[in-house]
Every structure is written in structure tokens, then in C-alpha cells.
Amino acid sequence: MNITSEMVKELRVKTGAGMMDCKEALAAASGDFEKAIDYLRKKGMSAATKRSSKAAKDGAVASYIHMGGKIGVLVEVNCETDFVAKTEDFLTMTRDIAMHVAASNPVYVRADEIPPEALEREKSIYREQLAAEKKPEKIWDKIIEGKLKKYYEDVCLVDQKFIKNTDITVGTLISNLIAKTGENIVIRRFARFQLGVD
């Protein structure tokens, strides 16, 4: 199948992946966009998994101030080398993540940071809802699993839909840059300040 530059451009917009990666994905998927997106996600995730054991001790701290000084964010994103930390791609992504935090107000970076008691509280609320709805107990675990996934999307930065491209999550944005740079990249922490809110 002939892969056109328009198809590559469209896939780039949807995924944020590099041009050559998009072309390769479309060729591997015979022009099927959904399969190409899956291909890129798998590639990004496998690259991310391979790099996750590497120490990410370099990086950058980005800031973002919104609404005339009413919301401010600091975010630390780490990578392995000073070389990648100074690239335009890395710095742009770090700034974009700071802007995303200002807009989406996550509570945690990742699901593994959620305290066990907070998770248990969520699960008990879901169980009470399911009991009130008279759902059969044998399907509760499956429903609770789905509700927790939605909860993670609300409160965990890496699981949130990226505000500049809602077809991907912040986690996918990072995986795409890992695949492009060949370095481990992690969001270390963030702080969000809102005027008059503790």
C-alpha cells in the first residue's frame, strides 16, 4: 500500500510520534490507522520498558504560570543525560507537562503513589454504590476495576489525557519521547499552587 505524506502527518498529529516512526507504523499496519496507533504504542512501551531500569538523574525543572498569576506549577522531569535534557523536544515536553498540571490538577504522578488507605476508601465507596444498585456481587470486582481505572485517569498525571492531544495520555507522551531519544525519562514530581487554595 502507498503511504502518503498526508497519512503520516495525520498519524503524527494523533500520536505525537516522530515522522519516520509514523511511516514505519503505517507500513506495518498496511495503512490501518488504529493498528498503526497500536504499533506505535507497543513500540513506545517496549522502548520505555527497556529504558526504565536506567538511572534518570539529569533533566529539567519547568514552570508555568496561568490566569495572570492565579495558578503556578513547577514540575521536575528527569532523563539520563545532560545532552537530552537540553534538547528542544525535552524542554518543550517538560513545559507542556507543567501547563497540563495547571489545567488538569492531578493529585499524584503515578498510581503506585496513591496511599493504600485512599485506594481502599475508593473501593469501599464503589462497593456501597454497587450494593445500592443491587448489582450481583460476583461482578463487583470487574466493575470496581473499571471504576479504579477511571479514578486513575482523574488523579494520576501519567494516566490523564494530554491536554494538547487528547488522543494520548501524558504517559504515552513520555513513552514517545523515550522511543525517540533512547533514554529513560520520568516525571519525578510536581507542585501546583492556586491562589487562595490550600
Evaluate whether 97 touches 188 at the Cβ level (below 8 Å).
no
Q: Where is 165: in which H helix or E strand?
A: strand 165-169
- What is the model's pTM? 0.71
Instruction: Output the domain CATH number for residue 27.
Output: 1.10.8.10
Asked whether residue 13 is assigned to any structural domain, the reply reads yes
Dist CA 36 CA 28 (whole Å): 7
14: domain range?
Answer: 5-51
Rounded distance between C-alpha atoms, residue 6 and residue 13, angstroms: 11
On whether both 30 and 120 belong to a single domain, the answer is no
pLDDT at 44: 65
- Indicate if 39 and 18 belong to the same structural domain: yes
Separation CA 186–CA 8 (nearest Å):
27
Does 150 lie in the same domain as 121? Answer: yes
Verify that 135 and 162 share a domain, yes or no.
Answer: no
pLDDT band at 53 (very low <50, low <70, confident <90, very high): low
Count structural domains, the chain. 3
Task: State how beta strands 58-66 and 71-79 pair.
Answer: antiparallel
Residue 110 lies in a domain: no
Q: Are residues 28 and 100 in the same domain?
A: no
Segment 103-139, tens digit of pLDDT:
999 999 999 999 999 999 999 999 999 999 988 889 9
pLDDT at residue number 153? 94
Nearest residue to 41 (alpha-carbon basis) of 182, 177, 176: 176
Query: 82: buried, middle or exposed (CB in 10 Å: 19+, 13-18, 0-12)?
Result: exposed
Which residue intervals of the chain are DSSP H helices? 5-15, 19-28, 33-51, 82-85, 88-104, 116-132, 140-155, 170-181
Residues 9 and 46 in one domain: yes
Does 79 lie in the same domain as 174? yes
Q: Is the pLDDT of residue 17 over 90?
A: no
| 83 and 180 co-located in one domain | yes
Based on the fold, state whether residues 40 and 131 are members of the same structural domain: no
The verdict on residue 39 lying in a domain is yes
Neighbours of 143 (CB within 10 A): 16
